[in-house]
Amino acid sequence: MNTIETMQARLAVLNPSHIEIQDDSASHAGHAGAKSGGGHFFLTLVSEQFAGQATLARHRKIYELLGDLMHKQIHALSIKAHTPDEFFSTHD
């Protein structure tokens, strides 16, 4: 299983209505983090479980689920975490 598949599997517990993970590692070739094999990823995740949570709490939950991948398979992670109402009202 590659890193994106592993991330998707772990984040599935949030029952996302939309999930998108982009690997931007190639843009960071030669970067110190890339030398150790850690990738650079952009994550957009939409989940009803984020309702009533501040951005920091949403990010903490995601980092908790990806825990041991951080600083190994994942060197950098940019997160956009939304509720369905927040996401779909701006992406219709």
Q: Which pLDDT does position 92 carry in this prediction?
A: 57
Residue 26 has a pLDDT of: 72
Structural fold of domain 3-90 = GMP Synthetase; Chain A, domain 3 (3.30.300)
At 30-84, the pLDDT tens digits run 555 455 667 899 999 999 999 999 999 999 999 999 999 987 899 899 999 999 9
Which position has the token pair 């949403």? Answer: 58
Each domain of the chain, given as residue ranges in start order, spans 3-90
pLDDT number for residue 91: 66
Give whole-number Cα distances, 43 to 6, 8, 19, 30, in Å: 13, 10, 7, 22
